[in-house]
Amino acid sequence: MAKCDLCGGGCKAIELVQLLDSYQTAGVVDICPVCCKWANGLKNAIIAELAPRMREAIAAKKARPPVPDPPWWKRFVS
């Protein structure tokens, strides 16, 4: 019986999920399926917060007038 590093619950070793390196913290590497489901829900909530900000940034860029290309001769001068 293996133990979850996050909740301390026991499960089969084959059921443990190893967190990505960027998500691991001191002492928390392998988590049980229940904690994995919680972590995925948290990640999805964080990603959902990004969507409105992305839409705002895209709309702001679309609203700006396009930057004209410099004349052909200025590309060779600089």
Mean pLDDT by 10 residues, the chain (78 residues): 91 92 93 95 94 94 86 74
pTM assigned to the model: 0.67
Q: What is the pLDDT of residue 78?
A: 59
**Contact call for residues 62 and 36 (beta carbons, < 8 A):** no
**Number of neighbouring beta carbons within 10 Å of residue 70:** 10
Question: What pLDDT does residue 65 have?
Answer: 86
Maximum C-alpha span of the chain: 72
Q: Give the C-alpha separation, 3 to 12, whole Å.
A: 8
Going from the C-alpha of 52 to that of each of 4, 35, 59, 63, the distances in angstroms are: 35, 27, 10, 16
